[in-house]
Amino acid sequence: MASEPRKRGAFIVLEGLDRSGKTTQVKLLEQRFIEAGRPAKTMRFPDRSTVIGKMIDGYLKSDVEVEDHVIHLLFSANRWEAAHSIERLLNEGTTIVCDRYYHSGIVYSYAKSNPSMPLSWLTAPESGLPRPDAVLFLDLTPEEARARGGWGNEIYEKEEMQKKVGEAFRQLGGVVDGGEIERDEDVVVVDAGGSVEDVSEKIWSVVAGALNAVERGEKGGVRTVP
């Protein structure tokens, strides 16, 4: 009797503003998959361990200045460095829980309002990367972020930037419209204002739906970003 073909893993991305609890939730989600007997692995972007990642780290810490277009392409290159490993893991049946991915790439650069970086230019380098099965944006108001101790010292951790990034993510998630950014069907906005347990349950309810679709083969094999 022929054995069943091995099912591919699901590719789940958590996006969020700084202080949204994203990193904690990524770990909880990985644990949940493992407890359910599903091989799972966490990843994060930027991956500061590579040569390109170290350049990004220097920029984020304001140790070096990097021109807007250049840093945008470096963030994208940092995802492309991992593209084959992501594909391989998914094909081997490992589910990936990823802390930020290409939507951060688009939204953080978009928030700079640089007229020579229109959306079409920002999205182009991401085209062809492995596409997530679900992207959850953990939403938090600046007041809630402040109540959690405020932001750190990195380059984007300023209230004005966080407001713009939040707004752009809400447009991607279809919660607000009116801007240039169109709704992206992969993005779901989750209110990250509750307790760790509450947010984790909300995340699980969205992820479970995406997981079922992957299990039933509705999403096909590993897809690529259009």
**Block residue for tokens 């991401």:** 126
Question: Between residue 86 and residue 145, which ones bind ligand DGP under the rule CB under 6 A?
Answer: 100, 104-105, 108-109
Total residue count of the chain as it appears in this document: 226
> How far from each other are the two terminal CA atoms of the chain, in whole angstroms?
38
Closest CA to 225 of 79, 110, 89, 108: 79
- Closer to ligand DGP by Cβ: residue 53 or 173: 53
Binding residues for ligand DGP, total number by CB under 6 A: 13
Q: Does 75 bind ligand DGP (CB under 6 A)?
A: yes
Cβ pair 129, 83 in contact under 8 A: yes
The site string for ligand DGP over 37-56 (x = CB under 6 A, - otherwise) reads --------xx----------
Kindly identify the residues of this chain, within the stretch 149-188, that bind ligand DGP according to CB under 6 A.
154, 156
List residues bridging with 13 in a β-sheet: 98, 135
Which residues, numbered 182-211, are part of the site for ligand DGP (CB under 6 A)? Answer: none
In this complex, which beta carbon is closest to ligand DGP, that of residue 43 or of residue 214? 43
How buried is residue 64: exposed, middle or buried, by Cβ count under 10 Å (0-12/13-18/19+)?
A: exposed
Site residues (vs ligand DGP, CB under 6 A): 18, 45-46, 60, 72, 75, 100, 104-105, 108-109, 154, 156
